[in-house]
Structure formats: structure tokens, C-alpha cells
Amino acid sequence: MVKIILTAGGTGGHLFPAESLATELLKSGAEVIFVTDKRGNRFSSIADKVEVRQVKSATLKPGIVSKIKAVFDIGIGVLQAILLLKKEKPDVVVGFGGYPSFPTMFAAQLLRIKTVIHEQNGVLGKANKMLVKNVTKIACSVPNTRGAIANNNDKISVTGNPVRPAIISKRDSNYPNFDGNLNVLILGGSQGAKAFSTIIPDAFDKLSPDLQKKINIVQQARPEDLEDLKIRYAENKNLNVELQSFFDDVPERLEQAHLFIGSSGASTVSDVAVIGRPAIFIPLPLHADNQQLLNAISIKENGGARILEWQHFDADKLSAVMFDLLMDPPQLKEMAKKSHECGNPDAARKLADLTLSLVA
């Protein structure tokens, strides 16, 4: 039996694509083992079919003492991974980035096992960048991924970013009819900005009362911001608002949305495009390489989204963009079509085909 080891960091942006690939590989009859550190979560949909192993890892934080400790922990993780790989003898090891993926991927390269890195963003992450020189194949979510091009053209395949089966199931859903209501979904991601909880309510306040009465707002907020945000929205009696710190039914929420507003992490952008919803993306300045901006550019260029860069993100500018879109339902419907064209529901299958093509 073909045996594939997947390894990824503990956040959804790394885990969701890994879970999607695992689902495809299991369909082909392969055995799948998932390796992460203690922060990694089990795959929710296939937890009973995938064995999960842990190796030690660490993030390189500022400060000499922290760096020395991190290197020591990563070294232990590499030794643990070497023992694991020698025992399991996988055909291919696939890494999805994040520091927890590094020990296993580096160990696989030391043992001359075929490796694939998958990059979700428009620029190689730090862990993938350290591995790219000796990797067998590079799977990119978007063309011209920064950091992957130089001297690696023969290794690169653009597979897209695998999304969860629950998202793919909504691929053919119709854009919701306009029945007097305008559904706006707002997500900030796991690293959602506090500014979302202050600027976005102010932006809705600047819309006309007649337009406000038509809008249904569904917004995710950081747990520490939730109570203040409830008080803030309660000041405007025209708005119908639902607030939560976490939504476990994002595919259904996206399906019902007339407009999405949120950050542009790789998984978020992929989900929005696969279902096909118009968006206002607000790239968070979490990385010096502007990876969230790069993630959203292709949808914007195709006409499916607007981008409001962080340095221009204020209530006046957001309100102006919302007004332009919400007052023009035909424009929203056309943007939904353009967004849908950018979706890649076959990304998991393409990545599975690439992985299995390396099996001797």
C-alpha cells in the first residue's frame, strides 16, 4: 500500500489544505499519517482514518536565548522525525508550511525520501523557504509565487489551494436572490484585527438609514472584543446584527452572503472564490512580504473583489466601497460570477495526483 506522510503547522490555513489532500489520498487507497507538534489539531472530518503523530518543534522568536531554545527543540524534533520515517518508510512526505512541518520535512530530505511542499500564499513562508532548495516538487496555490521561481521552474506545479469538502459542496450554489435584504458576512480569521471591531461598525453608521435597514450583518470578532462590539452595534437600531467569536458553519454563511468583508488569508480567499462571492478584502499587515495582499490580487484583477489596503482602511473609505456595491445589486451579481471563475475546486485532486506521481 502507498504510504504518504503529511505535515503542517497548527493553524487552519495549514491544516485545511492538508485535510483536503488527506481526503483525496484516502479515496485512492493510500495510507495517510499526519505529523505535527502538540498544537496541531486532529482533522475533524477524517480523524478516524488518519493516524496523528507528534514531533517537537518551535517558532524562532526574537532574542538569543529564545533562538537557542528553539533550535534545540527543532533539533529534537528532527531526531524524532528521523526515527518515525525510518519506521514508517513513507513513499512521499508532503509539507504545508508552518514551523511544525520543518522537522519532518528536513528529516525526509536527510533520508532522501521524496518531498513536496505546498505553499498556500502568494509568497513562500519561512519554513518552506528553508526547504525549497532540496525539495522534489513545489506545489503553488497561485502562479508566480514569490520565492519559488528562481532556479526551480522544473519543480513547480500550480495546483491551487485545496479547500474543505464542505466548501466544495457549495460550489454550484446559486448567488442568493435580492429579496429586500443584503447579507454581509465579515470574518477576521484566527488573527482577526481589533480594528475590524471599531472601523467596520463606524463604516455601517455612515450609510444611509434606508440602506442600513436592508442589511443583515454576520460578523466574527475576537473573543476579547465581542462584548464591546455588541454594545457598539446596539447604538444603531437600523442594523440587524449577529455576532460570534467563531462560526462552525462558514460554508453555509458564505453561501447565503451577498457580500464578504474580511482579511485575505490564503484559505479565506480560496473559500470565497470556490463558492463565488463578491468580496472586500482587507489584507492584514501580519507579514513583511505582504502575503495577504498577494493572495487577493488575482480575484481583484478578474473583477471579483475590491482590495482596501491596510494603510487606507478607515470608516470613510470602507463605507464608500460598501455603498458603491450594496446600492448596485447587478454589480454584486457580476462580481460573484468573476469571483467564481477564480475558484479552484480541483486543487486537492491536482495535489494528490502530483503526490502520487512521485511514488515509484
**Domains of the chain by residue range:** 3-162+346-356, 168-341
DSSP 311: G
Task: Give residue 211's pLDDT.
Answer: 97
Predicted confidence at residue 114, as pLDDT, reads: 98
Alpha-carbon distance of 322 to 315, in angstroms, equals 10
**pLDDT value at residue 109:** 98
Terminal CA-CA length for the chain: 12
pLDDT value of position 58: 76
Asked if the domains 3-162+346-356 and 168-341 are classified in one and the same CATH topology, the answer is yes
Residue 116, C-alpha cell as written in the block: 513536496
The rounded distance, in Å, linking the Cα atoms of 54 and 44 is: 17
Strand, helix or coil for residue 314: coil
List C-alpha distances in Å: 204 to 70, 168, 196, 233, 350. 45, 31, 12, 9, 41
State which residues of the chain have pLDDT below 50. none
- Strand ranges for the chain from DSSP E: 3-7, 31-36, 51-54, 92-95, 114-119, 137-140, 156-158, 182-187, 215-220, 240-244, 259-262, 279-281, 305-307
pLDDT in tens, 267-299: 999 999 999 999 999 998 876 678 899 899 999
CATH topology of domain 3-162+346-356: Rossmann fold (3.40.50)
* Strand ordering across the sheet containing 240-244: 240-244, 215-220, 182-187, 259-262, 279-281, 305-307
pLDDT in tens, 70-101: 888 889 999 999 999 999 999 999 999 988 99
Q: Structurally, what CATH architecture does the domain formed by 168-341 represent? A: 3-Layer(aba) Sandwich (3.40)
pLDDT at 253: 97
Q: Give me the residue label for grid cell 484559505.
A: 267
